[in-house]
């Protein structure tokens, strides 16, 4: 289960146990602290949802940009890791490593069942682990810059080609990455 889902479930369980109206001063202080914590957790949840939505929407805005080996901008084209790096830098303000295998090493491994929009999905497309990366958009689909002669597009991970090559899912956390100011 994802860390955020655990936090939200815990927050919901905490909210369900309100103290009776005849609470003492200490109990009231505890209630106030709980409400403050719940408000903070709700703000964090909204921030995560907003960032994830922004990330996926931003990525979708680059549909049709041509593939270019070593490319890292919409003007010149993207390779797979350059696309992911540009989207995270522009939307979330995080600087991901340049290569797909480095991005895998710098992010938190998660189970495929825990995938959420904005998570990274990795594939073995060149007979080596983590040779291709894309951004999960939900419903079993991901957006990526696939190969020479192609353009940024959305594909279904459940097709046999991608299923056979799936290398793992990763979540980007700020602990391992450098942040940059958003414009």
- CB within 8 Å of 37: residues ≥ 6 apart: 11, 14
What does the alpha-carbon distance between residue 95 and residue 122 come to, in Å, rounded to a whole number?
18
Beta bridge partners of 143: 135, 154
Residue 80 known to be catalytic: yes
Residue 46 known to be catalytic: no
What does the alpha-carbon distance between residue 107 and residue 177 come to, in Å, rounded to a whole number?
8
Determine which one of 6, 22, 46, 132 is catalytic.
Answer: 132
Structure tokens at 54: 């922004």
- The secondary structure of residue 112, as a DSSP letter, is G
N-to-C CA span, the chain: 33
Rg (CA), the chain: 20
Q: Which residues carry out catalysis?
A: 80, 132, 144
């Amino acid at each position: 289960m994802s860390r955020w889902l655990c936090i939200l479930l815990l927050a919901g369980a905490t909210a369900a146990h309100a103290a009776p109206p005849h609470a003492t001063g200490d109990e009231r202080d505890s209630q106030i602290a709980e409400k403050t914590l719940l408000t903070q957790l709700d703000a964090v949840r909204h921030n995560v949802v907003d960032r994830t939505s922004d990330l996926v929407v931003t990525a979708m805005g680059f549909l049709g940009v041509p593939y270019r080996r070593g490319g890292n901008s919409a003007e010149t084209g993207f390779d797979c890791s350059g696309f992911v790096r540009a989207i995270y830098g522009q939307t979330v303000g995080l600087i991901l490593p340049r290569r797909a295998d480095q991005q895998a090493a710098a992010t938190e491994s998660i189970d495929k069942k825990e995938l959420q929009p904005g998570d990274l999905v990795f594939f073995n497309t060149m007979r080596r682990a983590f040779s291709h990366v894309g951004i999960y958009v939900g419903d079993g689909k991901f957006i990526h810059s696939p190969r020479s002669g192609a353009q940024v597009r959305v594909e279904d991970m459940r097709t046999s080609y991608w299923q056979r090559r799936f290398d793992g899912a990763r979540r980007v956390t700020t602990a391992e990455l450098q942040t940059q100011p958003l414009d």
